[in-house]
């Protein structure tokens, strides 16, 4: 039986289009190639962290420490490069390993000691913030010594050339079509519900247009920014993990009913610890990008990023109780938040009103999700 789209499926897109129209009318620079390229970089950083948060929320848990972790892991790499003269790849590798081990430890404490994730990660938020300030000694630490260029700085300053961007977009669209067609055939062979052909074509056509539009716009500035490519890799990995592996199915099962998951023989403890380990790796990647985007490690890097990540998940339809959420929804949620912040910055909105607007959008999105789901 074919699946049908509902108003709920279009609510985020409608909200996003309306928001873009408002900002475009109030500030002509909003649709400029340079601003949209910067918006894509900002989106990539927020969305990457939100995808990691999705894995945690799917199990019914929460992680409030990621914002401080972003600053800490980015700061560790910066100090190793700037003060100790380490090669950038080695420094980034240490930060990546530190993120993995720290989050595995937190996950182990949460699971083995049966402590609510809210409490442990809230403690982590404070501990990591303090460690971060100690690591950088409350000073500004550049990501490169003497204004040079290295792998760290290239994370947010490298752009894929236009010709290569169009070629990559073509390959991505082709692979997307092949995967969609093969997936539809496989689901039909097992008797599962599938999209009707016109709906599938429309979804693929619109997605392809969106991808080429992004490439066309960014080509007018410098090309696709490297953070967008990193986001693409992370999004693809999380999508495959959550939809095509037993581990992903276990995440949904645990969030839906943990007791039933235990009875079913799912290794709940290992899966929960593993999800926190993956979160640690994603926090490190986000920390490197956010620090590189700032140009230096300062005491404010990562501030409130945990709230932006949670907001992107909730706006994108991830249930805070667990068991429901998609990569595409999280990307849309992150895009909506990025557009909101970028537009308000262009309009020189004061910080206090930015906080009010972000809170109202989050509350409205949750209300719409609840109303349209009934």
State whether residue 225 is helix, strand or coil: strand
- Name the percent of the chain lying above pLDDT 70: 95
At 231-255, the pLDDT tens digits run 999 999 999 999 989 999 999 999 9
The pLDDT value given to residue 191:
80
Tell me the pLDDT band of 370, cut-offs 50, 70 and 90. low
Q: What is the pLDDT of residues 16-26, one digit of tens each?
A: 888 899 999 99
pLDDT (0 to 100) of residue 302: 93
**Do residues 206 and 9 make contact, with C-beta atoms less than 8 angstroms apart?**
no
Mean pLDDT is lowest, of 9-13, 78-82, 331-335, for: 9-13
Banded pLDDT at 5 (limits 50, 70, 90):
very low
Residue 183: pLDDT over 50: yes
Identify the residue with better confidence: 349 or 371.
349
pLDDT digits over 313-328, tens only?
A: 988 889 888 898 999 8
Q: Packing angle between helix 66-82 and helix 88-112, nearest 10 degrees? A: 150
pLDDT for res 234 = 97
Q: How confident is the model at residue 280 (pLDDT cuts 50, 70, 90)?
A: very high
pLDDT at 180: 86
Distance CA 177, CA 174 (A): 5
Maximum distance among all Cα pairs of the chain, rounded to whole angstroms: 63
Cβ pair 39, 342 in contact under 8 A: yes
Q: What are phi and psi of 225, to 5 degrees?
A: -70, 145
Identify the band that residue 185 occupies on the pLDDT scale cut at 50, 70 and 90.
confident
pLDDT at 4: 44
Residues 6 or more apart whose CB falls under 8 angstroms from that of 13 comprise 332
Provide the whole-model pTM.
Answer: 0.92
> Is residue 298 pLDDT above 70, yes or no?
yes
Q: Is 256 left (phi over 0), alpha (psi -120 to 50) or beta?
A: alpha
| pLDDT per residue as tens digits for the range 86-137 | 999 999 999 999 999 999 999 999 999 999 999 999 999 999 999 999 999 9
Homologous superfamily of the 2-157+229-373 domain (CATH): ABC transporter involved in vitamin B12 uptake, BtuC (1.10.3470.10)
**Average pLDDT for the chain:** 90
Q: What's the pLDDT score for residue 66?
A: 97
Please state which of the ranges 31-45, 69-83, 196-210, 223-237 shows the lowest mean pLDDT: 196-210
Please tell me the predicted confidence (pLDDT) of residue 7: 54
Q: In this predicted structure, what is the pLDDT of residue 3?
A: 40
Q: Which of 6, 145, 165 is nearest to 81 (CA)?
A: 145
Q: Do 78 and 142 form a contact (C-beta atoms < 8 A)?
A: yes
Instruction: Report the 10 Å Cβ neighbour count for 150.
Output: 17
pLDDT band at residue 296 using 50, 70 and 90 as cut-offs = very high
| Percent of the chain with pLDDT strictly greater than 90 | 66
pLDDT digits (tens, 9 = 90+) for 25-59: 999 899 898 999 999 999 999 999 999 999 999 99
pLDDT above 50 for 1: no
Q: Name the packing angle between helices 33-57 and 66-82 (round to 10°).
A: 120
Which residues are CB-contacts of 33 (< 8 A; sequence separation ≥ 6)?
217, 218, 220, 221
Q: What pLDDT score does 371 carry?
A: 67
Name which of 175, 322, 334, 326 is nearest 242 in CA terms.
326
């Amino acid at each position: 039986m074919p699946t049908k789209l509902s108003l709920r499926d279009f609510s985020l897109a409608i909200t996003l289009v309306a928001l873009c129209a408002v900002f475009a009318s109030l500030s002509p620079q909003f649709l400029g190639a340079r601003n949209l390229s910067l918006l894509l970089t900002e989106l990539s950083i927020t969305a990457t962290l939100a995808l990691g948060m999705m894995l945690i929320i799917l199990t019914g848990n929460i992680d409030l420490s990621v914002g401080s972790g972003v600053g800490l892991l980015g700061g560790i790499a910066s100090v190793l490069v700037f003060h100790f003269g380490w090669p950038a790849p080695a420094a980034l590798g240490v930060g990546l390993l530190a993120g993995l081990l720290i989050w595995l430890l937190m996950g182990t404490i949460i699971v083995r000691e049966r402590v609510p994730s809210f409490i442990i990660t809230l403690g982590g938020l404070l501990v990591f913030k303090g460690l971060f300030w100690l690591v950088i000694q409350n000073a500004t630490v550049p990501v490169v010594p003497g204004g040079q260029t290295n792998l760290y700085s290239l994370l947010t300053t490298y752009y894929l050339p236009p010709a290569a961007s169009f070629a990559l977009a073509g390959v991505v669209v082709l692979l997307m079509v092949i995967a969609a067609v093969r997936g539809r055939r496989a689901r039909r062979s097992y008797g599962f519900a599938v999209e009707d052909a016109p709906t599938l074509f429309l979804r693929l056509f619109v997605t392809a247009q969106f991808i080429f539009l992004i490439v066309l716009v960014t080509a007018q500035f410098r090309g696709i920014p490297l953070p967008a490519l990193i986001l693409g890799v992370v999004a693809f990995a999380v999508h495959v993990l959550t939809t095509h592996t037993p581990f992903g199915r276990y995440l949904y099962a645990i969030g839906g009913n943990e007791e039933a998951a235990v009875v079913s023989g799912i290794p709940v403890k290992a899966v929960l610890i593993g999800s926190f380990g993956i979160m640690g790796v994603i926090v490190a990647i986000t920390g490197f990008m956010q620090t590189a985007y700032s140009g230096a490690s300062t005491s404010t890097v990562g501030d409130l990023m945990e709230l932006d990540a949670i907001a992107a998940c909730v706006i994108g339809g991830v249930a805070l109780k667990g068991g429901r959420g998609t990569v595409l929804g999280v990307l849309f949620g992150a895009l909506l938040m990025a557009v909101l912040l970028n537009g308000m910055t262009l309009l020189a909105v004061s910080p206090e009103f930015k906080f009010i607007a972000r809170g109202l959008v989050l509350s409205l999105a949750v209300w719409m999700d609840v109303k349209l789901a009934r």
